[in-house]
Amino acid sequence: MKQRQAGEVQHRSQLALYLSLPILSWAFYDFANTIFSSNINTVFFPFYMDEVLGTNEVMQQVASTFISYANAIASFFLVIFSPLFGVWIDNTGYKKRFIVWFASISIFFTFMMGVLADLPLATTISGVPLSLFLVVVSFVIAKFFFNSSLVFYDSMMGDLGTKEEMPLISGYGVGIGYLGTIFGLLVYLYVGESDFHRAFIPTAILYLLFSLPLFFINKDTPIPKAQRKTTKFFDGYKEIIQTFKDMKQHKAIFTFMIAYFFLNDAIATTIAMMAVYATTIVGFSSGQFIILYLVSTISTIIGSVAFGYITKAIGAKRAITIVALLMIIALVFAVFATEQWMFWIAGSMFGISLGSMWVTSRTYIIELSPDEKRGQFFGLFAFSGKVSSIIGPAVYGTVTLWMKDYGTLASRVALSTLILMTVIGLFVHLKVHDKNGNIK
């Protein structure tokens, strides 16, 4: 049955491909979860934390610490469980079913963030309002299940068309996702310049609304129960350990994994912290940051397209080198920004870097890895990104906590650690050898 369906879609036009209900509904889930990622992770949760905690320069750094640690904890649990998710997919064939459950939990706790933030709870925990503490816990749970759903969402793509159609389907999902970023920010028109917790419930509703097409249209192709193996928690880790053992014969890709760890570390942390840094350190109003974020998103789209051509022209390794240099320049502008125009440059350049890093790094993995091990190495590539998403925010939060008495200097020093990480990543990347043992 599956082979027949693949044959049927082999000669579809691009328009027919994009209007196919399973593909359209799949792409709309990217639209839905990007609304969560943008509104909650990048914009309104940081705004809310700074609004409630950041009553002075010292407490602004404490707010940054809370945001950083919350992101690190959510990423930590994802690292623990994501190998098991891969085993579940391979063993059961269920993808849509897990997306429905995990997305629903994420949506519920996003909704609860709005409910809990509005509760008049006078109780405090170590000086922190209980309502805020509960919002942070809900955020960690919502983000964990959001990220978990993406593991199954990404794997679902292979069921939607032929191998030749995969680049088009992947790009379609990314493009629809960027539209979700822009659409989700319309919530700001309702929220305004204060009471940022009011964005949580509308975001949850939008997240649910645009997830419904996938929930009801897409179908799973489960593996018959008689063919399933007994799943053990550590089975996924055994595969990762085996991949590390195989790396001895593939030093180039192992070296690049280390480089990518540091580069993605800087990217993940900047995404989580850019809103509160722009508003508390550089002096952007929330409305000005929304516009900056929109411009940065457009820059990301431009970077993705432009570096597709650049990578084709000069090769993935040189393209990644250029992207890393752009990141370093953007972060230097951000660290030393005393005027808003400097952060406009930083935001735009970082947007270009964000989109292009994804394009160039995936291409480089394909260049370096043998065909028969490509899936294995892409799994480790994803795992490396998840681990780095713990370290960067944790380091940033620790610096702001240790230096909170120094006010805004704490955040500037914390952000400068990302320059160091990017430089280390670039240095390691330049040491990557090609398949013939030569440095390109």
CB atoms within 10 A of CB 413: 16
Tokens of 23: 């593909």
pLDDT, residue 359, reads 75
| Angle between helix 251-277 and helix 408-430 axes, rounded to 10 deg | 160
Class of domain 16-225: mainly alpha
For residue 8, pLDDT over 50 is answered with: no
CATH 1.20.1250.20 fits 234-440, yes or no: yes
- Type of residue at 51: E
Q: At what angle do helices 57-92 and 96-117 cross, to 10 degrees?
A: 160
Higher pLDDT, 7 or 98: 98
Paired tokens of 419 = 């320059």
What's the farthest any 2 CA atoms get from each other in the chain? 66
Judged against a pLDDT cut of 80, whether residue 371 lies above it is answered with: no
The string of DSSP codes covering 113-144 is HHHHHTS----EETTEEHHHHHHHHHHHHHHH
pLDDT one-digit tens code per residue, 52-61? 887 778 888 8
Q: Which residues of 208-245 are buried (b: 16+ CB within 10 A; e: fewer)?
A: bebbebbeeebebeeeeeeeeeeeeeebbeebbeebee
Summarize pLDDT for 10-47 with one digit per residue, the tens: 567 778 888 889 999 999 999 999 999 999 999 999 99
Got the DSSP string for 288-310? Answer: HHHHHHHHHHHHHHHHHHHHHHH
Per-residue pLDDT, 114:
96
Question: What token pair was written down for 123?
Answer: 């109780």
Taking each helix axis as running N to C, give the angle between helix 251-277 and helix 286-314, from 0 to 180 degrees, rounded to the nearest 10. 160
Most confident of 185-199, 308-322, 366-380: 185-199
Residue range 81-85: average pLDDT?
79
Same CATH fold, 234-440 and 16-225?
yes
pLDDT digits (tens, 9 = 90+) for 72-81: 999 999 888 8
| pLDDT-derived band at 7, boundaries 50, 70, 90 | very low
376: amino acid identity, one letter: Q
Question: Could you state, in order of their start, the residue ranges of all structural domains in the chain?
Answer: 16-225, 234-440
pLDDT per residue as tens digits for the range 143-195: 999 999 988 887 787 788 776 777 677 778 878 888 899 999 999 999 988 89
Report angle CA 360, 366, 370 to the nearest 5 degrees. 160
pLDDT, residue 378, reads 67
Q: Whole-prediction pTM value? A: 0.84
